[in-house]
């Protein structure tokens, strides 16, 4: 977590910052080679309060052969044990995703629409498998925010004011990165490095900011994944004309998200080689090569998740 988390409104107890929501698929749309946008609706979304930027939520996806995800309990103190205790063949698969956009459909409407962008990468991924077959009327459960100021929004807009915003995201974090870019003011300056599987995944963010994007496409020839990303960041000029890799502008704020090993390597570079204050680096491992999300979830609940504190050891 960051050193300074936004405080939720005092009238809402901390235990009520998040709740369960029943989501129903309204429509789907392919937006790139690897991306599918699923738009959800449902009456319960009237109580959903996204904080924007990189707001996350957790989806409960039906296992193979099950039409709709059902949970035996949704109480704050009972749902996790009840979910873990379900038989493997009927337990919904929990995955974390970014709220790409939440919007009110009409003035005075009782429900919102919610967009979530899924990365399609084969049948072995439960989320990819489900999203690729989602049709209008498909239903899932989610845990999401009831208040806009919540700890699942990790990007700190106030920290990015007045300096350079340095960004890295792979395809899993690209929806969050685009959501951030679209909310920045015109005066913001951005240097972003986005890693995607295919050239057709180079989407265009609608941002008012002055943004310079570098795309790193994995289906093109090149060195290993992490090495290629770090090399691209190292070769870039951040301070203007001059030798690359010699520093970053004063007040630089970095937001890094994606595969955990690559995120750590980029963070190490920007702190050690670019002299960015480690307290100004917001980094999140969305996934980890060689580990399932079930393993990462178990580590998190066991207190073994990778540290995300800005002053954590490099």
pLDDT digits (tens, 9 = 90+) for 76-111: 889 989 998 999 888 898 999 999 999 987 666 556
pLDDT digits (tens, 9 = 90+) for 122-131: 777 888 889 9
Residue 149 near residue 9 (C-beta atoms within 8 A): yes
Residue-range definition of the domain harbouring residue 120: 14-145
Kindly state whether residue 172 falls inside one of the protein's structural domains: yes
Kindly state whether residue 274 falls inside one of the protein's structural domains: yes
Q: Are residues 183 and 270 in the same domain?
A: yes
Number of compact structural domains in the chain: 2
Q: What is the CATH number of the domain that holds 277?
A: 3.40.50.80
Kindly state whether residue 205 falls inside one of the protein's structural domains: yes
Domain boundary among 124, 145, 166: 145
Kindly state whether residue 35 falls inside one of the protein's structural domains: yes
Q: Are residues 167 and 290 in the same domain?
A: yes
Q: Are residues 186 and 240 in the same domain?
A: yes
**Beta 210-217 vs 189-196: how paired, if at all?**
parallel
Does 270 score more than 70 pLDDT?
yes
Helices (H), the chain: 79-84, 126-133, 174-183, 225-235, 260-272, 293-301
Q: Are residues 127 and 200 in the same domain?
A: no
Q: Are residues 139 and 232 in the same domain?
A: no
pLDDT digits (tens, 9 = 90+) for 159-184: 998 899 999 999 999 999 999 999 99
40 bridge partner residues: 25, 114
Neighbour tally for 100: CB within 10 Å: 23
Q: Are residues 127 and 92 in the same domain?
A: yes
Q: Are residues 170 and 294 in the same domain?
A: yes
Does 312 score more than 50 pLDDT?
no
More reliable by pLDDT, 227 or 295: 227
Kindly state whether residue 283 falls inside one of the protein's structural domains: yes
Kindly state whether residue 32 falls inside one of the protein's structural domains: yes
Domain boundary among 145, 179, 197: 145
Q: What is the CATH number of the domain that holds 112?
A: 2.40.30.10
């Amino acid at each position: 977590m960051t050193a300074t988390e936004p405080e939720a409104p005092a009238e809402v107890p901390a235990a009520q910052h998040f709740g369960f929501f029943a989501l129903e698929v309204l429509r789907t749309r392919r937006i790139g080679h690897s991306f599918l946008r699923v738009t959800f609706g449902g009456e319960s979304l009237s109580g959903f309060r996204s904080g924007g930027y990189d707001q996350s939520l957790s989806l409960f996806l039906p296992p193979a052969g099950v039409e709709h995800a059902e949970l035996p309990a949704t109480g704050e103190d009972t749902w996790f044990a009840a979910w873990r205790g379900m038989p493997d063949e009927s337990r919904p698969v929990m995955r974390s995703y970014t709220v790409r956009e939440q919007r009110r459909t009409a003035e005075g409407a009782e429900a919102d629409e919610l967009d979530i962008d899924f990365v399609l990468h084969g049948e072995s991924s439960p989320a990819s498998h489900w999203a690729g077959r989602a049709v209008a009327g498909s239903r899932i459960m989610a845990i999401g925010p009831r208040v806009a100021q919540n700890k699942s929004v990790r990007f700190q807009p106030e920290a990015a004011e007045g300096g350079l915003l340095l960004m890295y995201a792979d395809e899993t974090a690209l929806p969050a990165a685009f959501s951030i870019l679209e909310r920045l003011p015109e005066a913001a300056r951005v240097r972003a490095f986005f890693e995607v599987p295919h050239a057709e995944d180079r989407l265009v963010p609608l941002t008012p900011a002055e943004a310079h994007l570098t795309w790193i496409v994995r289906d093109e020839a090149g060195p290993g994944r992490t090495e290629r990303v770090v090399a691209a960041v190292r070769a870039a000029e951040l301070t203007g004309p001059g030798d690359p890799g010699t520093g970053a502008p004063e007040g630089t704020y970095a937001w890094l998200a994606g595969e955990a090993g690559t995120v750590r390597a980029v963070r190490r570079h920007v702190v050690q080689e670019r002299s960015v204050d480690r307290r100004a680096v917001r980094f999140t491992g969305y996934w980890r090569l060689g580990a399932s999300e079930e393993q990462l979830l178990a580590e998190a609940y066991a207190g073994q998740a990778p540290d995300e504190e800005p002053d954590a050891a490099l």
